[in-house]
């Protein structure tokens, strides 16, 4: 496949809840949704409010009427665009949906629950598209030219991070994850541990960090949770989100080429996000590594065949 034809586009970049405020419009207000398109195959990562305008665009397009949606988890900000996703209500479409769970029935139940009374008037039984719920025991599948694998990350409840390979490029999508979870927990518990426990946990910490970086290792593009500043993280440790300083450090350690800070806190307006960008860039420059770092913005489209084209 000619990887130059592949692209990814950000349709929603916020975490927690949508932020449709004038002060936030340069970065964007919709919650998590990314489109990855290759060879007429469309993979959608998460179904936050960003999937609503994507659905409207897909209805007008002439492309293949087959979609694959992968959900990181079922917190509202990752699924609450689905009740308004127009292709699901059209018989022309075939839509596969994968998310955390032991069986396709688990996925169907989690997706359908938010559309039941009294929360929503129209249930998934009204969807006209051919819907297939998926789980894969080996946590790996192929969709056209895309190879997708996934594993659990540090976030309350079962949550997946995804790695998508296409045309020799690697894209890693980890929208909700608390970076360096073990290390942070150790620091918090430090004074309560004896020497033997400290040695044991130190060893575990290194192994844990290695496995945490596994999905991101050598990624051409990493899209990662960076919701908090240092002081916000101190208040919210254990909530399952990363301080952007840790996100940048993890990406450097994983030898990532292009990092997109993602899942922005709805309290952070455009001005604040610019400060975060400058600070993140300064850390990258100090490292003298060849990584580039951006704040993910709604509407950004990146050619996957050319990772310098952001
Ligand atoms: Zn989230
Ligand atoms: Zn979440």
**Residues 149-202 pLDDT 10s:** 999 999 999 999 999 999 999 999 999 999 988 777 777 776 677 888 778 777
Q: How far does residue 270's CA lie from ligand 1's centre (Å)?
A: 19
Q: How far does residue 242's CA lie from ligand 1's centre (Å)?
A: 11
Q: How far does residue 48's CA lie from ligand 1's centre (Å)?
A: 9
Tokens 């894969």 found at: 136
3-state class (DSSP) for residue 166: strand
Q: How far does residue 156's CA lie from ligand 2's centre (Å)?
A: 7
**What is the predicted pLDDT for the residue at 14?**
98
Q: Residue 288: pLDDT band by 50, 70, 90 thresholds?
A: confident
Q: pLDDT tens digit string along 43-53?
A: 999 999 999 99
Q: pLDDT tens digit string along 234-283?
A: 999 989 999 999 999 999 999 999 999 999 999 999 999 999 999 999 99
Domain-located, residue 309: no
Q: Residue 3: pLDDT band by 50, 70, 90 thresholds?
A: very low
Q: How far does residue 195's CA lie from ligand 2's centre (Å)?
A: 35
Q: Which of 131, 103, 125, 128 is nearest to 47 (CA)?
A: 131
Q: How far does residue 75's CA lie from ligand 2's centre (Å)?
A: 5
DSSP 272-306: HHHHHHHHHHHHHHHHT-S-EEEE--TT-EEETT-
Q: What is the value of pTM for the model shown? A: 0.94
Ligand nearest to the CA of 73: 2
Q: What residue numbers bound the domain in which 256 lies?
A: 3-303
> CATH number of the domain that 190 lies in?
3.60.15.10
Residues 45, 173: contact at Cβ < 8 Å? yes
**What is the predicted pLDDT for the residue at 202?**
78
Domain-located, residue 310: no
Q: How far does residue 46's CA lie from ligand 1's centre (Å)?
A: 10
Percent of the chain with pLDDT over 90: 83
Domain-located, residue 308: no
**What is the predicted pLDDT for the residue at 84?**
98
Domain-located, residue 52: yes
Domain-located, residue 43: yes
Domain-located, residue 215: yes
**What is the predicted pLDDT for the residue at 281?**
96
C-alpha torsion sign, points 13, 79, 231, 251:
negative
Q: Residue 209: pLDDT band by 50, 70, 90 thresholds?
A: confident
Compute the mean pLDDT over every residue in the chain, rounded to the nearest whole number: 93
**What is the predicted pLDDT for the residue at 203?**
79
Q: What is the mean pLDDT of residues 97-105?
A: 98
Least confident of 1-10, 201-210, 215-224: 1-10
**What is the predicted pLDDT for the residue at 190?**
66
Q: Which of 59, 63, 67 is nearest to 132 (CA)?
A: 67
DSSP 174-224: E-S--TTHHHHHHHHHGGGS-HHHHHHHHHHHHHHHHHHHTTTTT-SEEEE
* Residue 66 confidence (pLDDT) above 60: yes
In total, how many domains does the chain have?
A: 1
Domain-located, residue 270: yes
Domain-located, residue 203: yes
């Amino acid at each position: 496949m000619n990887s130059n034809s592949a692209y990814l586009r950000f349709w929603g970049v916020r975490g927690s809840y949508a932020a449709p405020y004038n002060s936030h419009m340069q970065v964007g207000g919709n919650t998590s949704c990314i489109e990855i398109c290759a060879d007429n195959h469309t993979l959608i990562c998460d179904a936050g409010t960003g999937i609503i305008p994507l659905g409207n665009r897909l209805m007008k397009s002439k492309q293949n009427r087959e979609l694959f949606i992968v959900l990181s988890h079922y917190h509202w900000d990752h699924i609450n665009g689905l009740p308004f996703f127009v292709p699901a209500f059209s018989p022309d479409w075939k839509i596969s949906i994968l998310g955390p769970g032991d069986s396709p029935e688990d996925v169907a139940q989690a997706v359908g629950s938010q559309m039941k009374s009294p929360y929503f008037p129209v249930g998934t039984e009204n969807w006209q598209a051919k819907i297939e719920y998926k789980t894969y025991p080996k946590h790996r599948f192929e969709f056209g030219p895309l190879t997708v694998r996934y594993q659990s990350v540090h976030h309350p409840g079962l949550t997946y991070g995804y790695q998508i390979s296409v045309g020799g490029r690697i894209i890693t999508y980890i929208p909700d994850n608390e970076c360096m979870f073990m290390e942070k927990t150790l620091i918090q518990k430090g004074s309560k541990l004896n020497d033997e426990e400290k040695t044991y946990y130190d060893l575990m910490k290194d192994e844990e960090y290695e496995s945490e970086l596994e999905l991101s290792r050598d990624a051409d593009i990493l899209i990662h949770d960076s919701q908090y500043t240092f002081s916000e993280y101190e208040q919210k440790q254990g909530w399952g989100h990363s301080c952007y300083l840790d996100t940048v450090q993890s990406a450097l350690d994983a030898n990532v080429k292009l990092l997109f800070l993602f899942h922005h806190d709805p309290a952070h307006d455009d001005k604040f996000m610019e400060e975060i960008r400058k600070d993140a860039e300064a850390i990258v420059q100090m490292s003298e590594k060849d990584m580039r770092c951006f704040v993910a913005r709604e509407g950004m489209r990146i050619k996957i065949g050319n990772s310098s084209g952001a």
